[in-house]
Structure 1
Amino acid sequence: MRPSFYHHLHPPTIPSPQARFRYTLGAGGISVYLTLVLLVTGILEMYYYVPTPEGATHSIQTLTFLVPYGGLVRNLHYWAAQGLMVSVLVHLLRVIWTGGYAPPRRFNYLLGVLLLVVIVLLDFTGYVLRWDEGVRWALVAGTNLLKTVPLLGNDLYILAVGGDQTGPATLVRFYAWHVFGLTLLLVVLAIWHLFRIRRDGGIAVPPPELRRDPRRITRFELARREGTAAIVASGVLILLATFIPAPLAQSIDPSNLATTETQAPWFFLWVQQLLKLGSPFLWGVLLPLGLIVILGLIPYILPLARPAELGTWFPQGNRSAQAMILILLLGILLLSLLAWLG
């Protein structure tokens, strides 16, 4: 049989624990499926979206209310984006809380952390493309954080917004990054990440001589389980897209961008709350970047799970990493809740 990327991802047989839902939660496969949904619906939206301050919100309204099934396409894109953010976070937590980043998987873990950063940036840029009153915080406070970076701040700000202040060039920049730059980076990193999974031996499980479950499943059974997960995810997406429309407010007033009373997008609420503590550079730039660096260094600076413990939740070998991520997660959730209530 001629080799293909599909057969690389689906060997003739794999250890049964690698496809066990209560171990993997299906988060990685669902993330891949949601990425495909985003690519398809995003391409369809590009036929109608107008990347100008005067036309952006109006073109979205046209797509939503006048184009047949346009509202469904937009809602699917919106909910797939939110779902991807959640599924990638769940996938990352699963990898850490099962010790699945132990060698030879450390490099692929780093690719996963980079993917998380790219997905956050994609969600942020797509959020701004609405160009309505709801994006005011992202458009003003979010971009102004770049100015606080020592030495490079003004240059970074001009690079991001296309000038000394936000305007038509800002929307074009965000649009270009969203549909080309970040999307291309996402596709490349995702393919690389998937390739490395099999090259590194698949999802982390104990070596054959230490496995409690010696069974193996065929590629057809693996594909069947993946198909079942995709069908369930499709059903949830369609229900959300049908009954909970994507948000859209009136077009933003370009003459009044000084206020930042609106909330940040949900995935940046914790940053919005941190900014109330003092220095924007310290709390809004340095701390989030530091957390990303620490997240990437976990496999290199903290103890690893023992080989016999792989394939199980909360192995004793990497309890320090588990505790650190739990504290970090609770802190972000608490800050987000405070920002939402405020």
Structure 2
Amino acid sequence: MKQSSFFHHLHPVTLPAREGRFRYTFGLGGLSLYLLLVLVITGALELFYYVPGVERANQSVQAITYLVPFGWVVRGLHYWAAQLLIVTTVLHLLRVVLTGAYKRPRRFNWLLGLSLLVCVLLLTFTGLVLRWDTDIEWALLVGTNLLKSIPLIGNDLYGAVVGGQDINPDTVVRFYGWHIFGLMLPAFVIAVWHAFRVRRDGGISSLSERGDRSARIPREALVRTEAVGAVVMTIILLTLTLLFPPSIGPAGNFRQLTADAAAPWFFLWVQELLRFGDALPMGLLIPIGLLIVLALIPYAIDRSTTGVARWLNREGRAAQIVALAMVAGLIVLTLIGAAQ
């Protein structure tokens, strides 16, 4: 009897052998999905204790960390899953570029992947603000104020995000809503859609490999590889939680930016860009421009249909140079920001 389910769609009865080899994809897509699942589960558990209000937000995070049984474990897993999800998502994007996996018929799925990366960054950003402690000054005061630099609609966008023209008691509730309903739900839908399209668009193999019936592995081999990856990632998350538990500072008042306020590590590059000019070009136009360049890779930079599933394929050399240069530049800016 033919089996039909999302699991069986992602795990066909047999598949090209290379798709089951960890060293080919490093399991980055599957690990990203697993980390997103960890975020959903641990975030749901935190909802039972988190209170989204100026007076209670920081206190509730303190309670989760120090009073709730195993609350520090749940919060640690949630925190580190978010940090690692950024890393695995970026590495997954690089792997896709370096192996030409963005080419037709995968071009739309490439856009879904970029959308998911944006959601992941904003999810981590809004989750940081929900702590409502002194460490979120840059995120709350500088990050959100970038919206005001947008001509004509900037103030309205800022008001929609923070719940007014200044930081106010509604801000925590607004970020709480954005974090769960405005970002997590869309991110989950996009992730499922993205995974569905991977298999629908032919998996990660070239056309010749899909037609080769001799070099194939059973479904169980892929499941075993994914299970091992999930176990290893769980061990890493638990180890990081035990050795480097996430901090929680005292509640902040956020009346003005202090001298030592810094961006979260994944936006340090934006912080450094802001040192070179005004908020609109440096804080918004350049990041949006980088995203547009990435989106155009399969539509303008490399429109070839050959070289799929080959590391550093010649046809995609221009796209590879663009992506690597972009990531290298962001890493340099991040390191400079971290050294300040």
Report the TM range for the smaller structure's normalisation: over 0.9
Separation of aligned partners in 2, 1:107 and 1:311: 17
Separation of aligned partners in 2, 1:210 and 1:183: 38
Say if 1:290 and 1:209 are closer, same or farther in 2 by CA, change over 3 A.
closer
Describe the SS at the equivalent of 1:250: coil
Separation of aligned partners in 2, 1:31 and 1:107: 19
Q: Is the 8 A contact 1:13 1:216 kept in 2?
A: yes
Instruction: Please give the residue correspondences for 1:1-342 in structure 2 after superposition, counting only pairs within 5 Å.
Output: 1=1, 2-208=3-209, 214-254=214-254, 256-259=255-258, 261-304=260-303, 307=306, 309-342=307-340
Separation of aligned partners in 2, 1:68 and 1:300: 51
* Identity %, equivalent residues: 49
Describe the SS at the equivalent of 1:227: helix
Partner AA of 1:293 in structure 2: I
Separation of aligned partners in 1, 2:245 and 2:257: 29
Say if 1:209 and 1:80 are closer, same or farther in 2 by CA, change over 3 A.
closer
Separation of aligned partners in 2, 1:192 and 1:260: 43
State the Cα RMSD in Å. Answer: 1.5
Separation of aligned partners in 2, 1:146 and 1:223: 44
Partner AA of 2:224 in structure 1: R
Say if 1:17 and 1:171 are closer, same or farther in 2 by CA, change over 3 A.
same
TM-score calculated relative to the size of structure 1: 0.96
Alpha-carbon shift at residue 221 of structure 1 (Å): 1.2
Separation of aligned partners in 1, 2:257 and 2:248: 21
Greater mean deviation of Cα atoms: 184-193 or 198-207: 198-207
The Cα offsets for residues 97-143 of structure 1, whole Å up to 9 and x where unpaired, read as 11111111001011000000011110100011111110000100001
Say if 1:130 and 1:206 are closer, same or farther in 2 by CA, change over 3 A.
same
Write out the 4+ residue segments of structure 1 that deviate beyond 2 Å after TM superposition. 208-211, 256-261, 303-307, 309-312
Separation of aligned partners in 1, 2:124 and 2:81: 10
- Equivalenced residue count is 339
Partner AA of 1:180 in structure 2: F
Separation of aligned partners in 2, 1:57 and 1:204: 48
Q: Is the 8 A contact 1:14 1:219 kept in 2?
A: yes
The Cα offsets for residues 195-251 of structure 1, whole Å up to 9 and x where unpaired, read as 11111011133523897x941111111111111110111111111111110121111
Separation of aligned partners in 2, 1:225 and 1:130: 36
Describe the SS at the equivalent of 1:51: coil
Partner AA of 2:146 in structure 1: L
Separation of aligned partners in 2, 1:145 and 1:71: 33
Unaligned runs of 5+ in 1: none
Alpha-carbon shift at residue 4 of structure 1 (Å): 0.8
Alpha-carbon shift at residue 194 of structure 1 (Å): 1.0
Alpha-carbon shift at residue 260 of structure 1 (Å): 6.0
Separation of aligned partners in 1, 2:131 and 2:61: 7
Describe the SS at the equivalent of 1:207: helix
Separation of aligned partners in 1, 2:142 and 2:49: 29
TM-score calculated relative to the size of structure 2: 0.96
Partner AA of 1:191 in structure 2: V
Partner AA of 2:225 in structure 1: R
The Cα offsets for residues 21-52 of structure 1, whole Å up to 9 and x where unpaired, read as 11101000000111111000000001111111
The Cα offsets for residues 170-215 of structure 1, whole Å up to 9 and x where unpaired, read as 111110111222111011101111111111011133523897x941
